[in-house]
Amino acid sequence: MESSQQSDTLLGAVLDGRYRVEDLIATGGMSTVYRGLDLRLDRPVALKVMDTRYSGDQQFLTRFQREARAVARLKDPGLVAVYDQGDGGPGGRPAYLVMELVEGGTLRELLRERGPMPPHAVAAVLGPVLSGLAVAHRAGLVHRDIKPENVLISDDGEVKIADFGLVRAVADAKITSTSVILGTAAYLSPEQVGTGDTSPRSDVYGVGVLAYELLTGTTPFTGDTALAIAYQRMDNDVPAPSAAIAGVPPQFDELVATACARNPADRYADAQDMAAELDAISEELGLPAFRVPAPRNSAQHNASAAYHSRMIEARTTAATPDRPAPPPILPPKNPPPQQQPPARPPLLQQTREFALDLDDVPAAPADQFAGIEIAEFEWARQRNRRTLLLWVLAILTLTGLVAAGAWSLGSNLPGLL
């Protein structure tokens, strides 16, 4: 993500007399995301401003408006809420979406910070994603662009999926955007690559690839170009995650295999179907509840820090108008040489170092997976079975004692009378 010229012209502007653009969060090939303020309701919002090259494309603007209205009707904790949209038009006025501001970061940023995830963390991420997709699928909408960049994690541990409908709007535009292909190549389903067809099963394929990446830290297919990556899935199945990293339960191998079947008919029918299977796996393995941590060094956090810093500086300046400006801070004449970043650790070591909470944890020994004993799930099931057996034996014993006492009392009742 890099800043753009558009960010220079929009910062400080007020869109449609209501939304003030305050800070750049991130920019991509087809849009730029800003931190904004709804002046009417006095609440922070996220402004997703489309690139100005789409402003004169009436076909794009029509599709953009239609998709925005459809997405705004969706309600689910796993979806980023859409509040409003700007139509854009001639004269370079860009189209934009006004969305819920998720204070946190993206799943991509979390993966870069912490590496692969243990199974219970994967389930904690996929659950809300599938819940949000299920609501959209029931409404007849398909996301078409499942990837870590479009999954947001709040500081409160909420997981939400964003950017419904944008890919379809861009695909229908007269302008070809190679960045869209580059951004989605690793997650496209075979039918999207071959014919361009999409359905809820296409989203299921994308979630399957996402699950593989969460478990292993890498996507299943690599190549020198986006097309090379995309076309590999036409002739190759997604490999089992356990083949790339030790300790992945076989149930997750089966989940990924079914979601990523090359024939759409062999996949889960939709996100709700896949969510039901994930719930069954979580119950079978006894996966503990998990609060997904937000990435620490995220673009959103940096934009928020810059905004609050400016607000503090503005209040300080207003309180002491005659205060002289501080002297500029000059760089040292002989700056210390920059150190090279450490080499990327082995894949299994990355998984062990994924923190189970907001604090870092030490690397786990070799018989652990992501800081968890590999045999923990089986041990937990055995413990639960033993506990259940003890309760059953206790109840049967108590029942037997009560029955024996009642029988003895009934037998001796005539003598007692």
Asked whether 352 and 369 are in contact (CB, 8 A), the reply is yes
Rg (CA), the chain: 27
Say which of 145, 155, 163, 270 is annotated catalytic. Answer: 145
How does pLDDT run across 236-285, given as a tens digit for each residue?
A: 999 999 999 999 999 999 999 999 999 999 999 999 999 999 999 999 99
- Give burial (CB, 10 Å; 0-12/13-18/19+) of 51: buried
Separation of alpha carbons 144 and 187, rounded Å: 9
126 or 375, greater pLDDT: 126
What's the confidence (pLDDT) of residue 124? Answer: 97
Of the candidates 300, 303, 308, 359, the residue with the CA atom closest to the CA atom of residue 154: 300
- Ordered by where they begin, the domains of the chain are 5-285 (1.10.510.10)
The verdict on whether 87 is a catalytic residue reads no
Name all contacts of 322-328 with Cβ < 8 Å and 24+ positions apart: none
Asked whether 272 and 228 are in contact (CB, 8 A), the reply is no
| Mean of pLDDT values over 168-191 | 63
Of the candidates 169, 198, 150, the residue with the CA atom closest to the CA atom of residue 87: 169
| Mean of pLDDT values over 404-412 | 67
Cβ-proximal residues to 399 (8 Å cutoff; 6+ apart), any chain: none
What is the chain's length? 417
Confidence of residue 337 (pLDDT cuts 50, 70, 90): low
The token duo for 53 is 């090259």
Judge whether residue 98 has pLDDT over 50.
yes
Judge whether residue 66 has pLDDT over 50.
yes
Asked whether 131 and 151 are in contact (CB, 8 A), the reply is no
Separation of alpha carbons 109 and 28, rounded Å: 15
Separation of alpha carbons 172 and 67, rounded Å: 12
Which of 41-45, 49-53, 346-350 has the least mean pLDDT? Answer: 346-350
What's the confidence (pLDDT) of residue 344? Answer: 42
Share of the chain above pLDDT 90, in %: 45
Where on the phi/psi map is residue 277: left (φ > 0), alpha (ψ -120 to 50), or beta? alpha
